Structures are given as C-alpha cells and as structure tokens.
Amino acid sequence: MDPKKMLSKEISNKVRGQISEEIVTETVNQFFKQGNAFILLELINLRSEFKSLKNELQNKTENKHNSLHKLLVP
C-alpha cells in the first residue's frame, strides 16, 4: 500500500469526526511534498494558536477575578 494512503488512513481513524478525510489527505500530501518545511510551518502555526488560546484563557480568568472582586468589594 502507498505510504501516503497508509498515513492518511491512520490519521483519519484517529481524528474521525473532528477533521474531514479530505483535509487529512491534503495535509498528508503537503507533508510528503514539502517534508521538513511543512513540519516547521505547522509547528509555527500551532505555537501561535497555543499562544492565542493561552491569552484567551488568561483574559477569561482575569474577568472572573474582576467580577468576583466587584461583587465582594462594593
């Protein structure tokens, strides 16, 4: 069996219902075409997404603390 198809099938089984099979196939094809550059770009994207989610979580936490403080201190 073709390595691309094997990898696509394995990933599709792991992320079933979360990511479409077409997206998985496209991503695997890009990986095989670009190799290490693809991994580097994906890592950069994941780091920026992680940073964004971290900031969002910190903002929610700060808002909860501020709301609680306003309730307790008139």
The string of pLDDT tens digits covering residues 5-49 is: 999 999 999 998 899 999 999 999 999 999 899 899 999 999 999
pTM over 0.85: no
Q: What is the pLDDT of residue 7?
A: 92
How many domains are there within the chain?
1
Instruction: Look at 1 and 58; give whichever has higher pLDDT.
Output: 58
Q: Read off the pLDDT band of 66 (50, 70, 90).
A: confident
Question: Using CA atoms, how far apart are residues 69 and 40, in angstroms rounded to an integer?
Answer: 43
Q: For residue 45, give its domain range.
A: 3-72
DSSP collapsed to 3 states, 17-57? CCCCHHHHHHHHHHHHHHCHHHHHHHHHHHHHHHHHHHHHH
Q: What is the pLDDT of residue 73?
A: 78
